[in-house]
Every structure is written in structure tokens, then in C-alpha cells.
Amino acid sequence: MVLRQECTETGGCASVPTAIAVTSPDLVLAAADRHTPSAAVLHSAEDRGGRAEPYDLDRAIVEMHTLIEHHGYVIALCPASVPDLVVHRLHAVRSVLESDRIAILRPELPPLGLAVLVLQLRQLAMCDFSPGVLASAARLLAHYIYAGAVLGSVARLDRVPVSLTSHAKSWVPGAQFAVLATPQPELVRLTGPEPPLLSGPAFGTRMYYAAGQQPTDWITGTLAPAWQVQGAVETRLPAESGRWWATGKPGSPGKLAEFAAAIPDISVLYQLVSSVRREACHWCGLELIGDRCGFCAAPLADPPAPGAKPPGGRGRGSALAPATGLAAATALAPVTGPARAALPPAARP
């Protein structure tokens, strides 16, 4: 594993070639070490309670341009539940700057799970990955984040399948539900002396949890030991959590306690990403893993016909051999082969 920058005592990492940016400060988790760079907060893209307030476009352009000047590339992440207005702001800035160095990602992760993904990308930004690989790695890493919540009601929840029975029981006073959103949706009712557990990871993880108006006793006292996590860290609840879980809204999350467990070791993350075959985007020329470019969103090009010349994209850098369907699928599949070897022996799935 190669680290390509040195950080100052204050945690500044000016030589990191790719800046990780978020649309809210509560998506920036504290790192376990002082070497991990922080994430930039795009204040001009912050959601103001869903209100279509005017914003200073000049300020937004300067904010993004400064990041590009200091780092070279920017990967901006925002929750899938934010109003479209927030994403439109980011696309407007990218259009005005006419820049192909800005990736806008909106993973289908709960807000706390997204904050964990941001932390992982911040860790990997110190390594020798190109910006294109780092951006497309977000989809791969999201498959290894176990994110969920304890809810007082699932009556309005639409991001996880909910049965009619669970909907009806949501109206019972004192009802509690444990919901897993990713990687596979799951819902159990926390009633009786021994309620069922959610399916957990088969590899080592660290858990982050945050309380809204729901206690975290079940998360820390039952779920964390059952999942055998390598530590549980309490953090503040992202403002977007109430809207994502349909229990409230920014500033009033409702009966909710959120959790997310993920791989904490940078060496394991590095091996997981580096074991996947890299390709060249046929449109922008950046490296990618998986079946879609993280910067321009172009899908992976089909293999050329025998004897045909490689397509001439408008990108920079040398072209790589085109992926087969299996290679493209491998980037987003559960750990196997070399990537599986990156996980601790006792925790391989």
C-alpha cells in the first residue's frame, strides 16, 4: 500500500489529489488517526430544510473551483433523500465550471451509512488510487456497509420493503422495529423475550451509532455483541436521517436510532479495491472499476469486435483492455478470490 502525501500536525493534507466533499457537516465522522484527511463541506449545497431558497452561485463556483485548484479532483457525496434542489445546485456548478473533474455521487445508503462511506473514501484518498478508481470504488464499498436503524414506526417507511402486518403493528403504542437497509433489506419487530436479530457481516467491522428520540440500548447491548464488532463509536445523528427513515425531518428526527457497521482497516479496504480489474472510461478517459464511471457516469464500453480498433475517447491517459461482463460484475459482487483474501481469515464470508 502506497501513501502519496504527508499530513501536517493539524490534519491538513494539501497534496491529496482527490478531495472528498459532502453537503452537510454531520456527514464527516471523526477519524481514528490524525493522518486521515477531513472532508470538505460544500456550504453552498447545504439543504435548508427543503426550502427552495436562492443561493449565491458565485460563492458556490468559487467554493468548488478552490477545491479543484488545491486538489485536482473532487468527489461530492450527498444522501439519496435530499431534495433534488441540492443535487441540481451541484450539477449547475459543474456545468458553469465546465469541469470533468467533479464527481457527484448519491449512494442508496442511509445517512449514517453514507458518513461511514465518506470516512472510508477519506482513508483511501491517501493511497495511490487514481481519482476515477476512488470515485467508482464508492459503489463497491457500499456493498460492505451494514446500515440500519431502530424505529418506533415503519408506517411511512418506503426505502425498505414493509409488510402490511408491520404497517399495522406500527400503530401499537411502544412498538419498536429493527431495520437493515443495506446490503440486504431486513426488518424484525423487537418484541418478546428473545426477538430475532438482524443478519450481520461475516467479517470484522467497527460500528457507529447515533440516537434520535429512540434509545440505543438494543444497538449497543444486543446487536453490537452479536455482530462481534471491533468497537462501537457514538456520533451525532445526521440531520437527513429523519427524512430518509420517514420518522421526521431535519431538526426533528422522531423515534429513531441509527447504526452502521463497516470495515475500519485501511489495509483491508486498499486490498479490496486494488484487487478489482481497472478499465479506462471510453468517454472521459479516467480509470474505473465496475461498470460505470464515477465522474461522467458513462457505462463501461462493450468489448470491441475482433480486429476492430479501440474507440477513441476524448479522455486523458492510456486505454486499458476492455472488460468482460464477468469482470464488470466482479467489481460490485461480494468478496471472492483475491478480494476475499483481503479479509481476515476468521471473517471471510
State residue 334's pLDDT score. Answer: 45
With a cut of 60, say whether residue 255 has pLDDT above it: yes
State residue 30's pLDDT score. Answer: 95
CATH number of the domain that residue 242 is part of? 3.30.1180
Greatest mean pLDDT among 143-152, 163-172, 331-340:
143-152
Are 279 and 324 within one domain? yes
pLDDT in tens, 2-47: 565 444 333 344 457 899 999 999 999 999 888 899 999 998 766 5
Residue 141 lies in a domain: no
pLDDT in tens, 293-333: 999 999 987 766 666 565 544 443 333 333 333 333 333 44
Pairing of strands 287-288, 102-105: unpaired
| Domain of residue 174, residue span | 146-266
The per-residue b/e assignment along 200-231, b for 16 or more CB within 10 angstroms, e otherwise, is bbebbbbbbbbbbebebebbbebbbeebebbe
Are 150 and 262 within one domain? yes
Ranges 76-90, 249-263, 294-308: which has the least confidence = 294-308
pLDDT band at residue 90 under the 50/70/90 scheme: very high
* CB 286 within 8 Å of CB 280: yes
DSSP, res 323: P
Are 227 and 183 within one domain? yes
Averaged over 216-220, what is the pLDDT?
96
* CB 273 within 8 Å of CB 137: yes
Averaged over 246-273, what is the pLDDT?
94
pLDDT band at residue 193 under the 50/70/90 scheme: confident
Where is pLDDT greater, at 153 or 121?
A: 121
Considering its fold, how many domains does the chain have in total?
3
Choose one of 131, 157, 183: the last residue of a domain: 131
Residue 1 lies in a domain: no
Residue 7 lies in a domain: no
Are 334 and 313 within one domain? yes
Where is pLDDT greater, at 284 or 172?
A: 284
Question: What whole-number percentage of the chain has pLDDT above 70?
Answer: 76
State residue 149's pLDDT score. Answer: 97
Q: What is the DSSP string of 86-125?
A: HHHHHHHHHHHHT-SSEEEE--SS-HHHHHHHHHHHHHHT
Are 59 and 156 within one domain? no
Q: How confident is the prediction for the chain on average, in pLDDT? A: 82
State residue 29's pLDDT score. Answer: 97
Are 168 and 250 within one domain? yes
The per-residue b/e assignment along 120-136, b for 16 or more CB within 10 angstroms, e otherwise, is bbbbbbbbebbbbbbbb
Are 158 and 249 within one domain? yes
Residue 137 lies in a domain: no
**Dihedral angle at the C-alpha atoms of 62, 59, 91, 142, nearest 10 degrees?**
80
State residue 251's pLDDT score. Answer: 80
Are 108 and 84 within one domain? yes
State residue 249's pLDDT score. Answer: 83
Averaged over 158-176, what is the pLDDT?
69
With a cut of 70, say whether residue 64 has pLDDT above it: yes
With a cut of 80, say whether residue 229 has pLDDT above it: yes
Residue 6 lies in a domain: no
Pairing of strands 256-262, 279-280: unpaired
* Cell (9 digits) for 53: 431558497
Ranges 52-56, 227-231, 236-240, 305-309: which has the least confidence = 52-56
Are 160 and 96 within one domain? no
Residue type (1 letter), 42: L
